[in-house]
Amino acid sequence: MALTAIVAGGAGFLGSHLCDRLLSEGRNVICVDDLSTGSEENVAHLASESRFELLRHDILVPLRIKADEVYNLACPASPPKYQLDPIRTTQVCVMGTNNLLELARHNDALFFQASTSEVYGDPDVHPQPESYRGCVNPIGIRACYDEGKRCAETLCFDYHRFHKLDVRVVRIFNTYGPRMAADDGRVVTNFINQALKGEGITIYGDGSQTRSFCYVDDLIDAFRLFASARPGFHGPLNTGNPEEYTMIELASLVIELTGSSSKLVYRDLPQDDPQQRCPEINLAKEKFGWSPRIGMRDGLQRTIEHFKSLPNRPLGY
Ligand code: NAD
Ligand code: UDP
């Protein structure tokens, strides 16, 4: 019989791509989402699929349905979005994850947790290996997400030790691609939409801070390799593309690829904005032979085409 996977946050950017992949592999998929930062639009193409169901539900409310696998991607991911209601963000990370862990425990299901490179905070080790314990400001404006996700990891590993739950924890580094919300405020969506509209490209700070960007298809490959591997390795596993760019370099590339006449405009750097971030992915290579295949030019071009194809291109954040 086909396995049933719950994808919490399945109407979001990453979650909708994961739903596609799981369906293509023959699973039944229940997408559990409160549609707070995701949208029905992201899964509209699955509406006629009999093995797919969209369940509008807030993971802060306990859920009891049958499942063989539970994927937890339910959480706002963009700094402006997760800072809008920071108390709720912490609650979703901690209590929401706890509710889904309970759901997995009742079903004896596999539990897959979307953690984040933000657990490393503003890192003083570069690039960041999984063994690095991070440098997070616990009382800053990013803490609701960073500390929330760190506590969610703690819960996962305690459920594993205490309840013998089969958990798999990925630490996702900045990932981009089609179906990101155009107005979500993250750098790739802001720059592309600003460039397509000929508006100023907003550089926060002096633009020398770095990020390493992974195209969504590569990330979903890593998810599936990790989730379908035999039990025994629970992570955490870094997933990301180690190609590192300053924000100035990213802006130049977006301007070049869109052929835009936009100019750079400078804005204040938000508090606690990490100065550098790059994944060390040796573990993913060793365990699963995984490394990203899609380079930045190719991935950005695909993402630009996606935003160009939208009927009403919304403004950047
Ligand atoms: P997204 O905002 O597009 O998706 C998040 C989804 O979760 C949305 O559909 C939203 O409606 C849903 N959601 C939020 N709170 C919920 C709740 N209480 N109950 C039910 N659903 C809820 O963001 P994304 O980029 O797709 O991120 C998905 C996951 O991956 C998040 O957990 C995020 O922390 C993690 N992550 C993403 C990145 C990245 O670069 N995209 C990096 C690190 C970690
Ligand atoms: N950033 C920027 N201009 C923008 C949006 C973001 O310069 O319009 C910067 C931001 O300050 C950060 C980097 O881009 O240094 C990545 O920001 P994003 O919000 O995408 O992700 P995160 O900070 O969580 O990595």
**Cα four-point dihedral sign 175, 110, 168, 93:** positive
Phi, psi values for residue 203, rounded to 5°: -95, 125
Whether 35 and 93 share a structural domain = yes
Element (H or E) spanning 143, and its range? Answer: helix 143-163
Of the pLDDT bands very low, low, confident and very high (cuts 50, 70, 90), residue 1 is confident
Domain that holds residue 257: 177-212+243-277+295-309
Q: How far apart are CA 96 and CA 74, in angstroms?
A: 8
Token digits for 163? 């309840």
Same domain, 27 and 161: yes
Q: Residue 271 contacts by C-beta under 8 Å, 6 or more apart in sequence?
A: 140, 141, 142
Least Cα distance to 81 among 33, 134, 144, 9 occurs for 144
Domain annotation covers residue 160: yes
Mean pLDDT of 165-183: 97
Q: Which residue do the tokens 């899609």 mark?
A: 294
Categorize the per-residue pLDDT at 312 as very low, low, confident or very high, splitting at 50, 70 and 90.
low
94 in a structural domain: yes
Give 219-231 pLDDT, tens digit per residue.
Answer: 999 999 999 999 9
CATH number for the domain spanning 200: value is 3.90.25.10
83 with 207, same domain: the answer is: no
Q: Domain of 117: which CATH number?
A: 3.40.50.720
Give how many domains the chain has, as a whole number: 2
| Both tokens assigned to 75 | 């959480």
d(CA 147, CA 140): 10
Are 100 and 8 within 8 A, CB to CB? Answer: yes
| Active-site residue (options: 82, 145, 176, 317) | 145
Q: Is the separation of the CB atoms in 254 and 192 below 8 Å? A: yes
Which atom of ligand 2 sits closest to the CA of residue 142? 24
Report residue 295 CA to chain centroid gap.
18
Do 186 and 55 fall within a single domain? no
Same domain, 34 and 136: yes
- pLDDT, residue 313, reads 56
**How far does residue 82's CA lie from ligand 2's centre (Å)?**
13
In this structure, is residue 221 part of a structural domain? yes
Query: Which ligand is the nearest neighbour of the Cα of 278?
Result: 2
Q: Which of 89, 136, 204 to mutate to test the pocket of ligand 2 (most atoms within 8 A of CB)?
A: 204
In angstroms, the CA 122 to CA 28 distance is 39
The mean pLDDT of the chain is: 97
Are 142 and 55 members of one domain? yes
Side-chain half-sphere of 8: how many Cα atoms within 13 Å?
Answer: 31
The reply to whether 129 and 262 lie within a common domain is no
One domain for residues 184 and 303: yes
Report the candidate in 311, 306, 104, 312 with the shortest Cα–Cα distance to residue 217. Answer: 306
Residue 314: pLDDT above 90?
A: no
145 catalytic? Reply is yes
- pLDDT at 164 exceeding the cut of 80: yes
Q: Residue 221: which H helix or E strand, with range?
A: helix 216-227
Compute the distance from residue 183 Cα to the ligand 1 centre, in Å: 14
Q: Which atom of ligand 2 is nearest to the CA of 270?
A: 11
Q: Are residues 66 and 106 in the same domain?
A: yes
26: left (phi over 0), alpha (psi -120 to 50) or beta: left
Instruction: Say which ligand is closest to the CA of 195.
Output: 2
Is 146 inside any structural domain?
A: yes
> Are 195 and 303 found together in one domain?
yes
Residues 34 and 158 in one domain: yes
Model pLDDT, residue 316: 40
Q: Is the pLDDT of residue 315 over 80?
A: no
The residues, any chain, with a CB within 8 Å of residue 16's CB and separated by 6 or more, are 10, 31, 38, 42, 43, 179
pLDDT value of residue 317: 34
Find the mean pLDDT for residues 64-81.
98
202 shares a domain with 74: no
pLDDT greater than 50 at residue 216: yes
